[in-house]
Amino acid sequence: MSSLIGENNCYGGDQEVTESVKIRLYPTDKQKCKINQNIGNRGFIWNKMLGKIKHENVKPTMKNLNNILKELQIDYPFLKDSESSSRQQVFIDLIRAYNKHKKEGAGFPKFKSRKNPNSSFRIQANNNNIRLNVRKNRIHVPTIGKIKFRTSKEYKQKIHESEINNMTIKYENGIYYGILNINTKHTPMKHCFEAIGIDIGIKRPLTCSDGLKIEELDLTKEEKNIKYYQREMDKKEYGSNHFLIAQQKYWKAVNKKINKKNDYYHKITNNIVKNNQVIAIETLNIKGWFKNSRWAHKLQRIALYEIIRQLKYKSKRNKREIIQVGRFFPSSQKCSNCGYQYYDLELGEEDWICPECGKHHDRDLNASINIKNEGLRLILEEIIKTIFVRDCHGLRCAGIGSTILTFHSSKNMLINRESPTS
């Protein structure tokens, strides 16, 4: 309870957070060769280690994989040309991927392919080996040198004032990016006193309990361009100049689609988190939805998981309460006015009238209101559990002790009154 009414929560005190900042890199041809060599060496080490795990039943532990790395560096001297921490990071990532497969049911780690257009490697920051020159817009990276970069003034200042943990250099759709993991200070958004319920769907991504309806972003033009340049690439001889020109245009269309979608989702989630203290959402089985062949393509296009991910991390960072109601909670069938459950509601029905109270409901809006009410109920249950665990002195200091004491005393009085008559 104290965290809910604390001064820092109301006025937004600074807090230490770990944040990732993405910058655009402009390496020279020589630097591109070094970056590509680091990426290639990472894929080579990954495939060799994964082959040992998969075919020779080597247990993926730090000790075993470190020994394999030492042997590989002796057998293949070109591996020493890449940055040392990037080589060690390979088996750390491999162990993490393997544990995710074993404990969380994720797929078994896959071999790296040269045909994959998105490749990366990570360098750990030690002894100021990753340095930023703000005035010249250069970032010093070990084994590669000073690379020209571009980002906003705000992010540039943030990186300059923060401690860098590591840097991931990524080649994505023909563009080089640097993703800097930094320790920085973040000022949470101001405390507010609003709650919202969000119904997540396929036809309409978000429907909010306050009446706001977020429609699917129109990406028809971008998808049309992507298909056009894919056909142009198929007509050209692979590796020719005409093929490379078409490939550059294809990558540009893909990046435009990705950036437009990310910008749209960030604006939506920022607005929701900024204006609401409590955010209630559904617990969805998105993996199960993908098994439906009619839904899979649209689900991939609207990226519901990304919306939920952004809501979660932004709520945590800004001290908002986000709660997920149960997967089988009948949010669409329940009347938000009287509580009647309409079992005959079909999947395609967009609106219905409650047989009990006669209230006309928009299906998604009604569901979002029910999700909000259920979320508030779950929070209230959690608060009540916390209250009964605490001592009376602590409750009185929190400003709610007198109410609880009155409740207990009135309960005892009722027992005392009933006992003589019985």
Task: Show which of 151, 186, 221 is a domain's final residue.
Answer: 186
Per-position pLDDT tens, the chain of length 422: 333 333 344 444 678 889 999 999 999 999 999 999 999 999 999 999 999 998 888 888 999 999 999 999 999 999 988 888 999 999 899 999 999 888 887 888 999 887 776 789 999 998 889 999 988 999 999 999 999 999 999 999 999 889 999 999 999 988 999 999 999 988 888 888 899 999 988 888 899 998 889 888 889 999 999 999 999 999 999 889 999 999 999 999 999 999 999 999 999 999 999 999 999 998 888 878 888 887 888 888 888 889 999 999 999 989 899 999 988 888 888 888 888 888 888 877 888 888 888 888 888 899 999 999 999 999 888 888 777 665 554 544 444 443 333 333 333 333 333 433 33
What is the Cα–Cα distance from 390 to 84, expressed in whole angstroms? Answer: 52
- Give the SS3 label for residue 177: strand
The domain of 289 spans 189-388
User: Is 199 part of any domain?
Assistant: yes
Tokens in use for 416?
A: 């005392």
216 lies in the same domain as 311: yes
37 lies in the same domain as 66: yes
308 lies in the same domain as 352: yes
Residue 111's contacts (CB-CB under 8 Å, 6 or more residues apart) are 46, 47, 50, 51
Give the CA distances from residue 203 to residues 263, 306, 349, 350, in Å, rounded to whole numbers and listed in that order: 20, 16, 12, 11
| CATH number of the domain encompassing residue 282 | 3.30.420
- Give the SS3 label for residue 357: coil
User: Is 316 part of any domain?
Assistant: yes
Task: Show which of 186, 214, 229 is a domain's final residue.
Answer: 186
Q: How many CB atoms lie within 10 A of CB 280?
A: 28
75 lies in the same domain as 220: no
61 lies in the same domain as 150: yes
User: Is 198 part of any domain?
Assistant: yes
326 lies in the same domain as 378: yes
The structural domain count of the chain equals 2
Name which of 118, 119, 121, 100 is nearest 109 in CA terms.
100
214 lies in the same domain as 240: yes
User: Is 366 part of any domain?
Assistant: yes
172 lies in the same domain as 93: yes
User: Is 419 part of any domain?
Assistant: no
